[in-house]
Amino acid sequence: MSVPVITIDGPGGSGKGAISRALASRLGWHYLDSGSLYRVLGYAALRDDVSLDDEAALVALAGRLSTTCRLPAADSPAVLLDGRDINADLRTEAAGKAASKLAVLPAVRTALLDWQRHCRQPPGLVADGRDMGTVVFPDADLKLFLTARPGVRAERRYKQLKEIGKEADLAALRQEVEARDRRDSTRQTAPLKPAADAITLDNSDEDEARTLDSVLELVRDKL
């Protein structure tokens, strides 16, 4: 029998990270934050002066990172690159924008597939991203698509950045959120969209605890 997977896709600021991590922790499953992987690559490209449209150089960089980088676990947001926790650097808009830019490149996405699928380990995996249910784990046991209005998502990002001591401008963040949605949803390869068999939840008017309750109910019904 294959290892069970729950996918939670959605745009930035929909709360999918917090919900996926909490769900993985409740179930005692592994957690894949696939956005971190794109962000790590964006961060390393900026650091090493690799151009965000140099597909071959980015593929080579992804190969090197897959052996030196440790992704976050359900109980810890730390992302270790060469032994250093770079999670705070990954949460900046610069890293998010870089990730979104290189994520349009098909060869880069292919280069990251094995790394992501390797996270499917017993007893189960909760995977969050943009194409978890459509491309990476099309046979997932339960597929959710979490979303919220752009203004609400920009406010959530604003709070997250303040919490980690980063400067933030709400109006600029809203523009970034909308630009990133456009880029992620209109790209040719693996665009942001619900899988045909996904359940969509809009949590604009719900806090994290309520959203987690709704998700747990769906999980109980399904598994």
In angstroms, the CA 21 to CA 76 distance is 9
Q: Which two tokens stand for residue 102?
A: 């290189």
Q: How far apart are CA 162 and CA 63, in angstroms?
A: 33
From CA 116, how far away is CA 40, in angstroms rounded? 13
What are the φ and ψ backbone dihedral angles of 80, each rounded to 5 degrees?
-100, 125
Nearest residue (CB) to ligand DC, 4 versus 36: 36
To ligand DC, the closest distance from the beta carbon of 32 in angstroms equals 9
Q: CA geometry: angle at 131 spanning 2 and 178, to 5°?
A: 155
For ligand DC, the closer CB: 31 or 38: 38
CB of 35 to ligand DC, least distance (A): 2
Which residues form the interface with ligand DC (CB under 6 A)?
12, 34-35, 38-39, 96, 99-100, 103, 129-131, 180, 184
The residue nearest ligand DC at its CB is 35
- CA dist 216 and 212 (Å) reads 6
CA atoms within 13 A on the CB side of 9: 28
Nearer to ligand DC, 175 or 217 (CB): 175
Q: Cβ 1 to ligand DC, closest distance in Å?
A: 25
DSSP 8-class letter at 14:
S
Instruction: Pull the structure tokens for residue 73.
Output: 């676990």
Nearer to ligand DC, 26 or 101 (CB): 101
CB 179, min distance to ligand DC, A: 10
Shortest separation between residue 30's beta carbon and ligand DC, angstroms? 16
Comparing CB distances to ligand DC, the nearer of 4 and 15 is: 15
